[in-house]
């Protein structure tokens, strides 16, 4: 049962000059929207698309150009239209237009009435001249090397080098210009093309960092901004330590997942306490280290588990698969959950590495990576090595590195930061630091919950009300707020409360 913790929800203030009757003036738009690509238009026929031209290199604005695909879902009530709400799903590398299509069916009605919902695929992502670094059919063929074994360490370092080399060979001219400041400048070009003096912005996960950098570079162009599941923007954390910090959060969240399985022992029969459920999970991993089951090996089992912790939609299915494997030696359900990277997933992985590798310095010494991973693995074994190998190409990256943008929030209007207490991908301490770095922000904490993505994604009525009041009416809490967490899933009725999981 969730603890009922709610502080200060009734005490609110209205932003000066931005009450519901005031709308943002719109200049003449410079985009001609038309039909979206079929993979977008088929599930979301209401969406319109257009291309925005941006410089490959902002230091050479008259040189080579890139085309970014932008989508629009028009405000449902033109007479109540406030402006444009640009959305980003994170990653870096998440397909933003597909995400905007999903949000068009999830955002509160008042928000969809009041804003043109604008999606965009960041440079070299999805429909915006996508890049890849390797052939996914061969490089990502399952099962992949065990991330934890000392016997596969050399193999994993070779794979990291191969991936970095592949990015240079296949996408070398783009690498110097794939970074968050470039994405932020692209965002402002989209604003100009839309004909907006100011934009509102909703960013999740990496999208919070993109929003913070945009606000740092262009504070005069920000109307309202929600940063949900916040990256730690401290320059010493971006990005190496941010990745390491995920491992501690993941282990904590895994324990809470095992507690949930134990509370439903009458369904799963894996034990009535965390230790017994952990033993069942460990037993499967030991079996897989002896011999893979088809495409399911130790890394794939970690990946399935780690991804399930981002939300709760796969909790029941994963627990059932663990029970089948452990109690009946039936691996079919677990094997079916193995994710194999296709070209789209490889594009996301390429952008994830390219942007993070370029945004900040990374340790160059292999010894330092191995030391930090080993130290974390002692108490946080789920993700320590697995997570490090995911960004290991950054140690030998061929593109230039820059110093992270220092976030101070100077000149920004009031904005909201959301985070759950036990988020895996963006640990809660990062949201506290994001709030500290943005003095005009209010931090909204979802207590006793760990979902990655809170506002409009978790089914939390209290959190949704705060965000909606802010975007539509300019109302913000007078101080930081805690809201009760959304309910855990019911394994006897797993479809009862489906949420939207960010990965």
Query: For this structure, is 205 an active site residue?
Result: yes
For residues 440 and 411, is the Cβ–Cβ distance under 8 A? no
Burial of 63 (0-12, 13-18, 19+ CB in 10 A): exposed
Beta pairing class for 65-73 and 115-120:
antiparallel
For residues 501 and 313, is the Cβ–Cβ distance under 8 A? yes
* Among 44, 177, 452, 486, the one annotated catalytic: 452
Distance of CA 171 to the CA centre of its chain: 23
Beta pairing class for 415-420 and 48-55:
unpaired
| DSSP codes, 372-432 | HHHHHHHH-TTTHHHHHHHHGGGGG--S---PPPPP--TT---EEEEEETT-SSS-HHHHH
User: Which residue, among 58, 29, 339, 304, has the nearest Cα to 176 in the 3D structure?
Assistant: 58
The whole-angstrom separation of Cα 90 and Cα 202 is 10
Query: For this structure, is 44 an active site residue?
Result: no
Query: For this structure, is 264 an active site residue?
Result: no
Q: Is 452 helix (H, G, I), strand (E, B) or coil?
A: coil
Tokens representing 235 are 């320059």
For residues 422 and 2, is the Cβ–Cβ distance under 8 A? no
Peptide bond into 143 cis (omega under 30): yes
The whole-angstrom separation of Cα 243 and Cα 47 is 35
Q: How many helices (H) and strands (E) in the chain?
A: 18, 11
Q: In angstroms, how far is the first alpha carbon of the chain from the final one? A: 26
* Among 148, 223, 423, 464, the one annotated catalytic: 423
- Give catalytic residues, as residue numbers: 205, 423, 452
């Amino acid at each position: 049962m969730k603890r009922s913790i709610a502080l200060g929800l009734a005490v609110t203030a209205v932003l000066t000059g931005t009450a519901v009757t005031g709308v943002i003036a719109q200049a003449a738009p410079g985009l001609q929207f038309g039909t979206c690509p079929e993979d977008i238009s088929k599930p979301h026929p209401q969406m319109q698309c257009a291309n925005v031209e941006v410089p490959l290199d902002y230091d050479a604005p008259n040189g080579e150009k890139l085309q970014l695909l932008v989508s629009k879902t028009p405000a449902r009530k033109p007479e109540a239209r406030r402006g444009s709400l640009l959305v980003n799903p994170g990653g870096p590398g998440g397909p933003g237009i597909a995400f905007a299509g999903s949000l068009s069916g999830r955002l509160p009605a008042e928000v969809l009435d009041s804003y043109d919902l604008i999606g965009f695929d960041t440079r070299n992502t999805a429909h915006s001249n996508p890049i890849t670094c390797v052939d996914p059919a061969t490089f990502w063929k399952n099962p992949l090397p065990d991330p934890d074994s000392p016997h596969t360490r050399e193999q994993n370092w070779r794979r990291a080098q191969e991936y970095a080399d592949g990015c240079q060979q296949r996408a070398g001219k783009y690498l110097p210009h794939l970074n968050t400041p470039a994405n932020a400048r692209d965002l402002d070009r989209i604003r100009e093309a839309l004909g907006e003096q100011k934009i509102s912005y909703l960013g999740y996960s990496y999208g919070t960092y993109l929003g913070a950098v945009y606000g740092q570079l262009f504070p005069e162009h920000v109307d309202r901004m929600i940063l949900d599941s916040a990256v730690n923007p401290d320059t010493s954390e971006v990005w190496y330590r941010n990745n390491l910090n995920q491992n501690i959060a993941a282990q904590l969240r895994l324990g809470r997942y095992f507690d949930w399985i134990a509370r439903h022992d009458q369904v799963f029969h894996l034990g009535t306490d965390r230790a017994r459920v952990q033993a069942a999970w460990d037993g499967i991993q030991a079996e897989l280290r002896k011999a893979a089951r088809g495409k399911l090996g130790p890394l794939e089992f970690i990946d399935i588990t780690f991804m399930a912790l981002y939300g709760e939609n796969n909790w029941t299915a994963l627990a059932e698969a663990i029970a089948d494997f452990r109690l009946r030696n039936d691996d079919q359900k677990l094997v079916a959950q193995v994710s194999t990277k296709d070209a789209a997933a490889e594009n996301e992985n390429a952008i994830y590495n390219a942007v993070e590798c370029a945004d900040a310095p990374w340790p160059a010494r292999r010894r330092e990576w191995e030391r930090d991973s080993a130290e974390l693995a002692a108490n946080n074994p789920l993700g320590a090595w697995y997570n490090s190998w995911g960004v290991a190409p950054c140690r030998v990256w061929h593109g230039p590195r820059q110093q992270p943008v220092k976030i101070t929030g100077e000149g920004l209007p009031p904005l909201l930061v959301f985070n759950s207490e036990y988020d895996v991908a963006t640990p809660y301490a990062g949201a506290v630091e994001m709030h500290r770095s943005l003095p005009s922000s209010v931090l909204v904490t979802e207590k006793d919950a760990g979902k990655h993505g809170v506002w409009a994604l978790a089914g939390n009525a209290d959190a949704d009300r705060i965000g909606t009041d802010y975007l539509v009416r300019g109302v913000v809490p007078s101080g930081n707020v805690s809201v009760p967490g959304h309910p855990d899933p019911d394994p006897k009725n797993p479809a009862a409360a489906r949420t939207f999981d960010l990965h």
